[in-house]
Amino acid sequence: MGAIKVLDNYNKQVKLDLQSISNDESPENICPQDLFPKFILEIKDKDVLIFIKYYMAGVEITESLLDSFINFVRKDNAGIVSQIFNCKLLKTYSLGEGYEVMMLKRIISKLQSYDIHIDDLFSTPKCMNELENQDVLKFFNYYLSEEDIDESLIDSFINFIILHKDSALISEIFHSQIMKVYPLNKCYQIRILKRIVSKLEASEVYIDAIYELFSKALFDFHETAYSYRCFLDLKLEDIILVRKMDSQFIFGTTGMTTWRSSAVLSEYIYRFCDFDNKNILELGAGCGLTGMVTAKYHKVKSLCLTDGNHHVLEQLKENVRLNFSEADNINIELLDWDNFEENQLQVKPDIILGADIIYDDLLFPGICKTLAKLLSNSDVYAIFAYNIRSKPKPEIEKLDAELAQYNLFTKKLCVAWLPTDKKGIDFEPNDGTRIRILDEIFCSNYSFERKNMEEKTIF
């Protein structure tokens, strides 16, 4: 192989010659040539070498070359992808972000079609595992999942960075691979970074890495059709990525974005429910967060996520594909509450879930008729998370009046509320009946913090 060129940080091309890679890594001898990953020398497949050469040079790559690389990865060489992403050369002389993200997306989508997930792209930035400060961890947890962040957590984060002056950590988290490929909503990023910058300025503290981030968010600003929320559990063991659109109402539905009730119901299911060996059905699943949390943390017998809108179903499929393999066997079905027949389901559910589907009384006749059919067996029950948008709460009274026609009624299962320290959600238990409602969902912050098993007392 001949010389290859990479762009350095100032967009100058740096020539690399594979034949003359040096093994001397003493600091005074380090030059782009020496940062070139040595593992490449062991690769015998010419197309794979050309692929790597083109990738590192930021050159357009044909489908057939990409296929050769993917085939190579499939032959037990998955580690190579991480080696390329994490090689010192690319860390020092980064590729243009647009090129890198476009290539990563092509690589990921091909690998996903073979059910291969690359851990580096699906894991929290490594440095997060070393963070001992729980508030800072929570700050990142909320930031990645695009949640509201209260003042006290912002202050904890600021104190932490002032104390540590650790700009490497800031950049490792904010510029992690996962955030490049699955970017957060830009307006959200700007909103949070603006608060951080103005607080730092008020204390006359100036941290370059934060300014760099803020200006990048401001000047790189362009609206994208989709953005992602990245939900982590506090042990940083699992990630659930949710692709969503940022309009609350688009394509005639509210289901293209995530609603707070889905996060609250997710946390509730994560912390208190035992759905092992149960058949679960979700109504109006939207982007699918609740259903995906159910699948991730319970050994369910079957899971069927449904919605009445075709665009929502497409997005739901994409989200399930992002987070699960085909072997996980998650069904996604059209279920319109106004046209539901029991025999359209392959499996009879034991538990029905619904997050933020009680909001419009015009929908209640359909929801209640559907519930009456699904709850015909007395062992089956439903759990809904309901977002109180105004008080008093006329919706529940109207829903109850509609349900009474089928001899069904709701009962408040518990109240989700935001504790005074404004960290996380707390649930206040209540006796449940067959249609259990999580009420008072007006809180803003939450996390997937799993409490002791003793807490699993509600069911």
Question: Contact residues for ligand SAM (CB under 6 A)?
Answer: 253-255, 258-259, 261-262, 284-287, 307-309, 312, 335-338, 355-357, 363, 366
Shortest Å, Cβ 362 to ligand SAM = 9
What whole-number distance in Å separates Cα of residue 298 and Cα of residue 293?
8
In sequence order, which residues have a C-beta less than 8 Å from that of residue 454 and are 6 or more positions away?
A: none
Nearer to ligand SAM, 51 or 297 (CB): 297
Shortest Å, Cβ 344 to ligand SAM = 13
Beta strand pairing call for 351-355 and 426-429: unpaired
Question: What are the backbone dihedrals phi and psi of residue 115, each rounded to the nearest 5 degrees, phi first?
Answer: 60, 30
Largest CA distance in the chain: 82
Nearer to ligand SAM, 68 or 185 (CB): 185
What whole-number distance in Å separates Cα of residue 332 and Cα of residue 273?
22
Nearer to ligand SAM, 236 or 363 (CB): 363
Are 258 and 287 within 8 A, CB to CB?
yes
* Chain position whose Cβ is nearest to ligand SAM: 255
Shortest Å, Cβ 366 to ligand SAM = 5
Nearer to ligand SAM, 128 or 230 (CB): 230
Nearer to ligand SAM, 259 or 275 (CB): 259
Shortest Å, Cβ 61 to ligand SAM = 37
Shortest Å, Cβ 30 to ligand SAM = 49
Tell me the CA distances in angstroms from 128 to 133, 134, 138, 448, one per residue in order. 10, 11, 11, 16
Nearer to ligand SAM, 110 or 229 (CB): 229
Shortest Å, Cβ 433 to ligand SAM = 22
Which residue has 């790559």 as its token pair? 61
Nearer to ligand SAM, 111 or 438 (CB): 438
Are 208 and 167 within 8 A, CB to CB?
yes
Shortest Å, Cβ 314 to ligand SAM = 12
Burial 280-292 (b: 16+ CB within 10 A, else e): bbbbbbbbbbbbb
* Helical spans, DSSP H, in 114-259: 134-144, 151-164, 167-174, 177-181, 186-202, 208-219
Nearer to ligand SAM, 284 or 349 (CB): 284
Which amino acid is located at 32 in the chain? Answer: P
- End-to-end CA separation in angstroms for the chain: 64
Nearer to ligand SAM, 252 or 429 (CB): 252
Residue 137, Cβ density class (10 Å: 0-12 exposed, 13-18 middle, ≥19 buried): buried
Nearer to ligand SAM, 156 or 306 (CB): 306
Question: What are the backbone dihedrals phi and psi of residue 132, each rounded to the nearest 5 degrees, phi first?
Answer: -95, -20
Shortest Å, Cβ 222 to ligand SAM = 25
Burial 359-368 (b: 16+ CB within 10 A, else e): eeeebbebbb
Shortest Å, Cβ 288 to ligand SAM = 8
Q: What is the dihedral of CA 82, 88, 94, 98, to 10 degrees?
A: 0
Shortest Å, Cβ 368 to ligand SAM = 12
Beta strand pairing call for 381-385 and 435-439: parallel
Three-class secondary structure of residue 324 per DSSP: coil
Shortest Å, Cβ 339 to ligand SAM = 8
Three-class secondary structure of residue 266 per DSSP: helix
Nearer to ligand SAM, 4 or 264 (CB): 264
